[in-house]
Chain A
Amino acid sequence: MKVRAADFLVYDQETGAYRENPEQVVRDDVEKHYWLHVGRTIIKDWRLYLMLVPMLLVFLFWRYFPMYELLSCFKVENPVVPVSGQLFSGFSYFKRLLFAGDSLSSDFWRAMRNTFITSFYGLCFGFPMPIILALFFNEVRSNGVRSVFQVLTYLPKFMSTVIMTSLVTMLVKQGGTTTNMGIISQALVKLGVITQEVGHAGLLNNPAYFRTLYQISGIWEGAGYDSIVFFAAIIAISPTSYEAAQIDGANKWAQMRYVVLPSILSTIVIMLITRIGSLLNVGYEKVMLLYNDRTWVTADVVSTFAQRNGLASTGQKGLAAAAEMMNNVVGMLLVIGSNTIARKATNTSLY
């Protein structure tokens, strides 16, 4: 910015001398008394600021203090000394995880790869399902029939992860000497999808089926509920748009392509950003409840890797924190990146 003399001084014709610009005096005054002004406003509106306090404290204590604890990934492990007193160890934990080449390091790489694959599958199979479901809901003209469908498909969302995983575990459980395998495994064997032996050994004990089970149970749980957003966007489309398209001779597919899809595109973009934002936050609770040591090969994600190595009594908290740090930083870059791309490309953004 160019500074001009006229901003500060004005020529006074009566006295024939320069004097200070009165506007600048006011500006100086405001600047000088800015914090006074802040203080006065806060005192005047003290109730408003008091209202903020509980929320800010909760977030400070249980959202921001953990971020401070995350710094233990740079510190030398020593449980006697508090985090602030520990020695700075630089990136030794990161190097250990990434380049050591031992079993821990390869476990970490496996967890990283599984995290990406699980989220990528979720994006490929889990994300389009609610949209398809919403399109189907839109075809059901009778309100009564549609509510029945909606009530039934939202239902699994109300179940907790524990209940859901218990059901999954029981439905595909292994067979024993006196007991038979779970009912779903049995049906799959009858249909010829899996062999008798695989079903008998238990699908959840088989690394080859973990990802499939994870994704299908995810769709079962969430697709109905997630379709609400898209359905709301579809019913907001004005009927005249369809009529205009029909007059122009558009059949169903053309209407989908040129009327429905452009109208719900912004919703899809927003949901996609949210999805990508939580891409690396694979539901660790669900993985933890479904996996066992036989399926670590395909099931272990970074959060569960950190939980196993960090929370056990002999755990290495610094190492685990370093693993989570990498995961979370990549996750944040993905949010910001996808948000920026969406804003540039479609003018829709979440943040």
Chain B
Amino acid sequence: MKRKLEITELIFKIISYTLLGIFSLCCLYPFVYAVAAAISGYGPVSNSEIVLLPKDLQFDAFKSMFSNNMFWTSYSNTLFITLYGTLWAMFTAILGAYALSKKRLLFRKVFNFFLVFTMWFSAGIVPQYLNYLATSKIFKSVGIMDDKWLVVIAMGMAAMNIILLRNAFEGVPSEIEEAAIVDGATEMQVLTNVYLPMSKSTIATVTLFFAISRWNGYFWARQMMANSHEHPLQVFIRLRLEDYTNPDTLAGWELRYNYAPDSAIYALVVCSIIPILIIYPFIQKYFAKGVNVGGVKE
């Protein structure tokens, strides 16, 4: 039976659609504008004539970026950090969360508190910096000279992600685990053949969280990496932005290039967004699914 819409309901629906539409367009617009500005010529960009469509088409901003070796170095550094950082984080998080999900683990409350306390209290930037300096010295003394490994191993571990995993593992019925143990499975086999397949979507989500935080990492990478050949993409983009807003770089720009410095920055922005946009349709559902609040307490 179709009910007639009440007047309040109708008004609310109209308001919802309108505001949602406006907000969605606001979310999309900066990216569309970035693409348009990246491929427009010097005049239209510096006079801010572009609104939606590019004018005076040029691709030199992209070309000069692609011919810049530092761009590719920073890109590969970011890929390196994202790949190994996510693998390492998932390795520690899955093992730790699995152990924490077991009722028979002694001192379970103590270990949980050990994690949760880091969500309440963080030391802050300066002590963390001193600590990274100290650990970086230890790394160097062991022979790991590259600061990339410090960023991979030390940064981006989040207690919340481990708790998400732990809760997922706790949701696996213990009968299945018992059946596996009766069949002679070892602890490791129980984890890989029972727990991991049964909490696939949470694992995908947590992997995504780790990967995104690595891909986006900026501040500590800039603080800890003195050598510009180690810089990840985010640091490279930021340094470019600082460079292109510097009056000395801008002097005589229009004589040398047919694109505005803005276009160079927009081109960088577009290039760093494209990989995310490509995988976005595939990961979006995990991103939306895995946000499970609550359940931190024991």
The answer to whether A and B come from one shared complex is: yes
Chain A residues within 8 Å of B, Cβ to Cβ: 38, 41-42, 45, 47-49, 51-52, 54-56, 58-59, 61-70, 72, 133, 135-137, 139-140, 148-156, 158-163, 166-167, 169-171, 173, 176, 178-183, 186, 220, 223-225, 228-229, 232, 246, 251-253, 267, 270-271, 274, 277, 281, 284-285, 288-289, 303, 306-307, 310-311, 317, 320-321, 324-325, 327-329, 331-332, 335-336, 349-351
In the assembled complex, which residues on chain A have CB atoms less than 8 Å from the CB atom of B234? 160, 162-163
CB of B114 within 8 Å of the partner chain: yes
Q: Which residues of A contact B155 (CB under 8 A)?
A: 62
Q: SS class of chain B's interface: helix, strand, loop or mixed?
A: helix
B59 CB within 8 Å of chain A: no
Cβ-defined partner of B16 (8 Å) among A139, A153, A183? A139
Q: Given A61-B154, A181-B48, A270-B293, decide whether A140 and B17 contact each other with a Cβ distance below 8 A.
A: yes
For this complex, 5 residue pairs linking A to B, each with C-beta atoms less than 8 Å apart, are: A159-B216, A166-B241, A228-B291, A324-B127, A350-B296
B121 CB to nearest A CB, Å:
5
B126 in contact with A351 (CB, 8 Å): no
| Nearest-Cβ distance from residue A69 to partner chain B, whole angstroms | 4
Contact A66 to B123, CB < 8 A, known contacts A158-B280, A220-B26, A351-B116: yes
- Who on chain B is nearest to A146 by CB? B20
A183-B33 in contact (CB<8A): yes
Chain A at the B interface: mostly helix, strand, loop or mixed? helix
Q: Is the CB of A72 within 8 A of B91?
A: no
B269 and A166 contacting across the interface, CB-CB below 8 Å: yes
Given A155-B28, A156-B27, A303-B124, A163 and B254 contact (CB-CB distance below 8 Å): no
Identify A311's interface contact among B3, B9, B118, B223, CB under 8 A.
B223
> B8, A251: Cβ atoms under 8 Å?
yes
Residue contact B93 to A55, C-beta cutoff 8 Å = yes
Residues on the A chain within 8 Å of B159, using CB: 59
State A62–B123 Cα separation when bound (angstroms). 10
Instruction: Assess whether B265 is in contact with A52, with CB atoms less than 8 Å apart.
Output: no
| CB <8 Å contact, A310 and B216 | no
Please name all residues of chain A whose beta carbon is closer than 8 Å to the beta carbon of B212 when the two chains form the complex: 158
Q: Are the CB atoms of B13 and A52 closer together than 8 Å?
A: no
Chain A residues whose C-beta falls within 8 Å of the C-beta of B13 in the assembled complex: 139
Which residues does chain B contribute within 8 Å of A155, judged by CB atoms? 27-28, 31, 280
Chain B residue nearest in CB terms to A147: B284
Q: Contact at A289–B124, with CB atoms within 8 Å?
A: no
Q: How far is the CA of A154 from the CA of B286 in the complex (A)?
A: 12
Which B residues lie within 8 Å of A149 (CB)? 20-21, 24
**Which residues of the partner chain B approach A171 to less than 8 Å between Cβ atoms?**
30, 33
Chain B residues near A252 (CB-CB < 8 A): 6, 8-9, 11-12
Chain B 116-155 residues near chain A, CB threshold 8 A: 116, 118-132, 134-135, 153-155
Also in contact, A179 and B238, with CB within 8 A (given A154-B288, A228-B288) = no
Q: Closest residue to A166 on the B side, CB-wise?
A: B241
Residue B106 lies at the interface, judged by CB distance under 8 Å to chain A:
yes
Spot the interface stretch: B61-69, B94-102, B173-181: B94-102
Extra pairs beyond A38-B106, A306-B126 (8, CB < 8 Å): A51-B187, A64-B118, A136-B16, A225-B287, A251-B8, A317-B130, A324-B123, A324-B126
Contact of A310 among B116, B129, B284, B296 (CB under 8 A): B129
Q: With A303-B124, A332-B120 in contact, do A162 and B237 touch (Cβ < 8 Å)?
A: yes
Say yes or no for B87: interface residue by CB 8 A criterion.
no
A179 contact set on B, CB distance < 8 A: 46-48, 260
Q: Are A58 and B123 also in contact (CB < 8 A) when A154-B288, A161-B216, A171-B30 are? A: no
Asked if B126 contacts A317 (CB within 8 A), the reply is yes
Nearest CB of A to B73, in Å: 17
Which of A62, A173, A274, A288 is most buried by chain B, counting CB atoms within 10 A of its CB? A62
Alpha-carbon distance between A128 and B15 when the two chains are bound, in angstroms:
17
Q: Is the CB of A152 within 8 A of B27?
A: yes
A residues in contact with B51, CB < 8 Å: 183
- For residue B98, which residues in chain A have a CB less than 8 angstroms away from its CB? 51
> How far does the alpha carbon of A77 sit from the alpha carbon of B252 in the complex, in Å?
47
Instruction: Find out whether the CB atom of A48 lies under 8 angstroms from the CB atom of B118.
Output: no
B218: CB under 8 A from chain A?
A: yes
